[in-house]
Amino acid sequence: MVCFTVLASASVLVLIVPHSLAVPYVSEPTTTIYSDAATTVSVVPVTNVTSHGSYTGPPPTTTGALSTRVEAASIPARPPEPYKLQYPADGNLHQPQPAPYTPGGGLGTNGSEPVYRVVSDFDYQSIALALYQEWIELDLFHWGLARFSEEEFEAAGLNAEDRFLIQFMANQEVGHATALTNLLGDRAPVQCTYNYPVTNVREFIDFNQKLTRWGESGVYGFLNHLDSRESAQILLQSITTEARQQMIFRQFDGLFPMPVWFEVGVPQSWAWTLLAPYISSCPYNQIRLIWQNYPSLYVLNQPNPARINGSNVWNETTGGYANTLSTSNLTNSSSCLNGAVGENCSPAITHNRTYPLSYPGRQVFLKWDTPGQPVGPNNSYVTSSNAGSPKFAAWVSQYNVTYTPLLNISDNAAYTIQPNTSTYEGDPAVNGTIYLAVTDTDLFVTPFNLTQINPHVKALAIYQAG
C-alpha cells in the first residue's frame, strides 16, 4: 500500500515508500532577509603605540612589587583535605540530584545569577597580570606588521594572507583586553610602551611564539585557583584562543605545531618575570602587581629553530629570559629556511626535523644574573630571589617538573644534562617551548601546587626543547 502525506506548510507532496529512506528535498531561497545589526558591546580604547625602546625616563619614585602585611615567608605544605579522598568514584550516584539530569556537586551550579567581576586580591592580581599580557600582544603584533616591510615578510616565507592572520590576532587582543578590563573595573591596567629583542622578521616570529607560550601557561597556572568562577569562565574562553595563536606562531617559525600531549601551566611570578623586561614604561597611575621578578637565566647554547642543525649552537640568542633566537651568525648554508626535506623550517602546517633541536643527554650551559636588577615598567620593579645556593635545573613541561643536578658550578654559571623523562609512555616530557629554572632544591611539586617551588627559584628562562 502506498501512502501520501501532504506537507501543507511547504505545499509539497512527499511520496512515502515503505522501508525506504525519505526522498531528499532541495529548497532554493527566493527571498533574502535583511535586518539591522544587533547591538554590540563597545571595546576598550586602543591607542597605536608609537614609542618603542628601552626606558630612558627619570628614576622611579616607587620600586618593587606591590605588598601589604606578609604573614609568613612561604606557604607550608599540608596533607590533602580528607573529603577529597572519600568519594567512592564507582560510577554510581551518591548524592541527591538538584534537578533532572543533574548530578550533585559542582561549583556555581546552584542557580545564582553569575557576577562577572573579581572578588579577591588573588583574582585581581592574577587577571591584571593577564591583562598586561594581552596589551603587549596587541602592540607586538601591530608593531611587527608596521616595522617590517612586505618584502621582509615575503623573504621569511610569510605572504599577505599570513600577515592578515597576524593582523586578525591583534584584533583578537582588543576583545581579550576588553573582557579582562570589564572583570577588573575602572583601575584596570592600560596600554604601556614596549621594547622588543628583535631586529628582523624571523626573530619577531620566534619572540611571538615564546611570548604567547608564557601568556598561555601563566593563565593555566592560576585559572583553577580563582575565587571568581565566573571570571575564570571568561578567561578560559580567551586563553584557548591564545593557545591557537601560540601554535600558529610555531608553524610560522617552522616548528612542529604541537609536539606535546599536554600544555604546561606556570605560576604568576614566572609569567611576570618573563613579561616585565619587555615593558618600557606605563602611565604614572598604573596599578602595580604583587608578583616576583626573578633574575634572568641565559641558555648559552639555546637551540636555534632557524638553523638546519639547531642544537649545534653557541650564544645565538638576543638576550636572557625569552632567549629569543638570533640570526646574526646564520649563513645561507646553515639556515633552514630553504632547506631540503628534513632540514626545511619555512612557515608550514608542520615540519619534521632530521636534526632535533634538543635531545636527552644534551649538555645545556647556563649562566644567570644576580638579584637586585631594575626591570619592568619604568625600571620600577627589582629582581629578587629567596633561594639558597644553586644546585638543580628544573625542567617544567606538560605535567612534569624534572630536576637535573647543576655541574661545574662557578659563580653564576654551570651546565646540566637534558633529562630523558616522559609524561606517559610515548610522550617525552621535555619537548616544545618549555621553562627552565635554577633552584636550590629538588622539591616535589605537581601541576596544581607548582607555586610551592617559588621560594627555591634562583633564575628563570624559556628553553626551546623542540
Q: Residue 274: pLDDT above 90?
A: yes
Mean pLDDT across 173-198: 97
- What's the whole-number average pLDDT of the chain? 91
Cα–Cα distance, 108 to 234 (Å, whole number): 14
pLDDT in tens, 412-454: 999 999 999 999 999 999 999 999 999 999 999 999 999 999 9
Task: Tell me, letter by letter, the H, E, C secondary structure of the chain.
Answer: CCEEEEECCCCEEEEECCCCCCCCCCCCCCCCCCCCCCCCCCCCCCCCCCCECCCCCCCCCCCCCCCCCCCCCCCCCCCCCHHHHCCCCCCCCCCCCCECCECCCCCCCCCCCCCCCCCCHHHHHHHHHHHHHHHHHHHHHHHHHHHCCHHHHHHCCCCHHHHHHHHHHHHHHHHHHHHHHHHHCCCCCCCCEECCCCCCHHHHHHHHHHHHHHHHHHHHHHHCCCCCHHHHHHHHHHHHHHHHHHHHHHHHCCCCCCCCCCCCCCCHHHHHHHHHHHEEECCCCCCCCCCCCCCEEEECCCCCCCECCCCCCCCCECCCCCCCECCCCCCCCCECCCCCCCCCCCCCCCCCCCCCCCCCCCEEEEEECCCCCEECHHHCEECCCCCCCCCEEEEEECCEEEEEECEEEECCEEEEECCCCECCCCCECCCCEEEEEEECCCCCCCHHHHHHHHHHEEEEEEEECC
pLDDT of 65 strictly over 70: yes
pLDDT of residue 64: 81
% the chain with pLDDT above 90: 80
What is the mean pLDDT of the segment spanning 37-50? 75
Q: Is the pLDDT of residue 241 over 70?
A: yes
**Residue 276 confidence (pLDDT) above 70:** yes
406-410 average pLDDT score: 98
pTM of the model: 0.91
Confidence of residue 47 (pLDDT cuts 50, 70, 90): confident
Predicted local distance difference test score (pLDDT) of residue 157: 97
Tell whether the model's pLDDT for residue 133 goes beyond 70.
yes
Of 87-101, 149-163, 252-266, 427-441, give the lowest mean pLDDT range: 87-101
Q: Is the pLDDT of residue 6 over 70?
A: no
Please state, for a pLDDT cut of 70, what percent of the chain lies above it: 92
Report the distance separating Cα 53 and Cα 49, nearest Å.
Answer: 12
